[in-house]
Amino acid sequence: MARKLPHVNVVLVGFGWTAAILAQELTDEGLTVLAIERGAWRDTPTDFPPTVAPDELRWYWRKEMFQNNARDTITFRNNRSQTALPMRRWGSFLPGEGVGGASVHWNGQTWRFLPSDFIAASHNRERYGELPEGMTVQDFGVTYAELEPHFDRFEKLCGIGGKAGNLNGQIQDGGNPFEGPRSSEYPNPPMHMTFAQHQFAKATAELGLKPFPGPSANMSRPYTNPLGCQLGPCSYCGFCEKYGCGNYSKASVQTTILPVLIQKPNFTLKTHNEVLHVNLDKSRTRATGVRHVDVQGNEYDQPADLVILCAYQTNNTRLMMLSGIGEIYNPATGQGLVGKNYCYQIMSSADVFFEDKYTNEFAGAGALGMVVDEYNGDNFDHSGLGFIGGGYIANWTTNARPIESQPVPEGTPSWGSAWKKAMAENFLKATSVGAHGASMAYANNYLDLDPTYKDAYGRPLMRMTYDFTPNDVAMSAFLTERMKEIAERMGGREIKLNLRDGPYDSMPYQTTHNTGGTIMGTNPSNSVVNRYLQSWDVPNLFVMGAGVFPQNAGYNPTGTVAALTYWAAAAIRSQYLRSPGPLVQA
């Protein structure tokens, strides 16, 4: 028997970026807010003190910062003819766990999706005709212009460093000329570039492209955000991605919101408790709260007026399924929407090796880079190319962590004295150029519940069915050729191409940019949530995160996830609380 707890106004499931933003916004409205996080408490001075060297073995290779897949994981297969098997060890992507979620271990590359990304279906149909058979791309239901103030707010919260390319419709030198119009300059200047970025900028400019500094949540100078949280300048230690920052130099929940939020009397954060499902009333059209369990196995019913799912994309989708909210997508019939349009991204890269120039990649940061955007989204004419979408091409100096980084030229043995010699000769003289490709939704890529495997509480695991599509393969081949042209002009001795072809493999790390499953849209027949991220079926339930993306753009998703969260928070504050019920009439 579950113990019933005292009522709260709002319960948030998970505590990463989206939950922290919502908690700050809704406590400001005077509501009592409870966040339930299944992982541990984490803060900067306790868990990532600057007096202790980052532990690559502990945090990355032993996965202590990520979801515990001994208790709960995902099963994976490439297609429906295969039997899905559990991911016993995270590889391709790294779901966060604990206070701060993935905001703790992200790189800090903070993008705005292009205006055309939000209308991908209608825009591409209008320009190129009908979409390919099996492609299920659709419009978001919200526009870039509507989200622009919320992008701006997140960038100021985080102290993003960069250079505007489009200020109120006026193209600016040195920035991204393809970005949507922004209302203000970045709050901080770009990071200091290294030798590799200068070579990339020179090579791309010679090709007629327009390089610009990548937008960075790693601080280029001391910064105090609008909440009064202070961040320090980055020390370029190279331990951003997959690690917490001990210098208060990377924007995260811990450095931008939590110091203010945790002091509020109307906010409570409960750790080491996992939400099992959303509780519904007899009509199954209203959430009454959630049921959660602590580490001793004690179960609790937490009543609330408003339930908001703020966990990772796959976990939000699974909670919807386990709670019986909406119909689970069936690719054989096309019926159902929960789990539909699972997307990822497709990457390729080129390592550049110099003969007598030092790149010193160990002096880096998660978002230290130069980028070109000519081949992203619909920034170029796709006529006759056989694909839609694209991606940015960049030279990031994120790290040269000693266990993970092994830059050796083509033909080097994988072990032994020749490998050691190649490592010694090239470790300080190599860099990489990468293509960061979009992912268009297809009917055969989806999420559902596994019929065989269960988690520690006896609940079915999430099953992922995913493979690269013809659109992915054609797009990646195009981007790789453009990337190769750039790499060959950077002045190196040789390059090594790292292609991403063949079937999708869940083990090599790529990005933690999983999207879809709880997609947003214009009506209940094409989406799980409406344009304000409110459930069509249960109006006092909202769903945050990248799961609401109908497809994935050629950028890192965090900036757009945050903008959508602020957009939803504004709708809750200005509309829902005044008149609880559907914000969009079906």
Domain assignment of residue 586, yes or no: no
Domain assignment of residue 582, yes or no: no
> For residue 391, what are the contacts with CB-CB under 8 A and spacing of at least 6?
345, 346, 375, 376, 435, 436, 437, 438, 475, 479, 554
Instruction: Give the pLDDT of residue 501.
Output: 80
Domain assignment of residue 407, yes or no: yes
Domain assignment of residue 321, yes or no: yes
Task: Choose, from 292, 382, 436, 513, the residue flagged as catalytic.
Answer: 513
pTM: 0.98
Domain assignment of residue 14, yes or no: yes
The type of residue at 576 is Y
The Cα–Cα gap between 59 and 582 comes to 43
As for how many domains the chain has, the answer is 1
Domain assignment of residue 584, yes or no: no
The type of residue at 319 is L
pLDDT in tens, the chain (586 residues): 899 999 999 999 999 999 999 999 999 999 999 999 999 999 998 988 888 778 899 888 898 889 999 999 999 999 999 999 999 999 999 999 999 999 999 999 999 999 999 999 999 999 999 999 999 999 999 999 999 999 999 999 999 999 999 999 999 999 999 999 999 999 999 999 999 999 999 999 999 999 999 999 999 999 999 999 999 999 999 999 899 999 999 999 999 999 999 999 999 999 999 999 999 999 999 999 999 999 999 999 999 999 999 999 999 999 999 999 999 999 999 999 999 999 999 999 999 999 999 999 999 999 999 999 999 999 999 999 999 999 999 999 998 988 989 999 999 999 999 999 999 999 999 999 999 999 999 999 999 999 999 999 999 999 999 999 999 999 999 999 999 999 999 999 999 999 988 899 999 999 999 999 999 999 999 999 999 999 999 999 999 999 999 999 999 999 999 999 999 999 999 999 999 999 999 8
DSSP sequence for 519-566: -B-SSTTT-SB-TTSBBSS-TTEEE-SGGG-SSB-SS-SHHHHHHHHH
Q: What is the CATH number of the domain that holds 569?
A: 3.50.50.60
Domain assignment of residue 585, yes or no: no
Instruction: Give the pLDDT of residue 52.
Output: 79
**Largest separation between any pair of C-alpha atoms in the chain:** 72
Q: Is 123 a catalytic residue?
A: no
The type of residue at 508 is P
Structure tokens at 467: 């493979």
Domain assignment of residue 563, yes or no: yes
> For residue 476, what are the contacts with CB-CB under 8 A and spacing of at least 6?
346, 347, 348, 435, 437, 468, 499, 500, 501
Instruction: Give the pLDDT of residue 324.
Output: 98
Instruction: Give the pLDDT of residue 402.
Output: 87
Q: Are strands 430-437 and 446-454 parallel, antiparallel or unpaired?
A: unpaired
Range of the domain at 83: 3-576
Nearest alpha-carbon partner for 540 in 572, 570, 585: 572
